[in-house]
Amino acid sequence: MKNNKEIYVKDEHRVHYIAYHLVWSPKRRKPILVGAIADDCAKYIKEKCDEQGWKVLNIAIQPDHVHLFVQAFPAIPAEKVVKECKGYASFHLRSKYPETKKLPCMWTKSYFASTAGVVSSETIQKYIEAQSKN
């Protein structure tokens, strides 16, 4: 386990550790995130996070929902992380997999967001790892 000094991010004017546990679902909670679609979904989410400078701490793709544990900058709200990841993944998945076009849109508008401040990051990591084994 890392001590607190190792997980904090330092930049020009601040020291921070902002980590979100985010969960969202395909439209109508359809279990379409399986096989290659699930693999590509995780890949696209990681690509978007890398592009934005957000650190993916863990990701678990379930047939009917996505768990993302991500570290972001203090000025970035959870809403932006979800919106960017959903949009990027949706564009690429719907371009590549015709079965995803059976839904009117890829994702529901809703999502769950929690910060690691309420629950330790280790607890969130264990929860996501347990989800990915199901």
10-132 fold = Alpha-Beta Plaits (3.30.70)
pLDDT score for 1: 41
pTM: 0.83
pLDDT (tens digit, 9 = 90+) per residue, 49-94? 999 999 999 999 999 999 999 999 989 999 999 999 999 999 999 9
Burial class (CB in 10 A: 0-12, 13-18, 19+), 111: buried
- Sheet containing 18-24: give its strands across: 55-62, 65-72, 18-24, 112-115
pLDDT (tens digit, 9 = 90+) per residue, 46-58? 999 999 999 999 9
pLDDT score for 58: 95
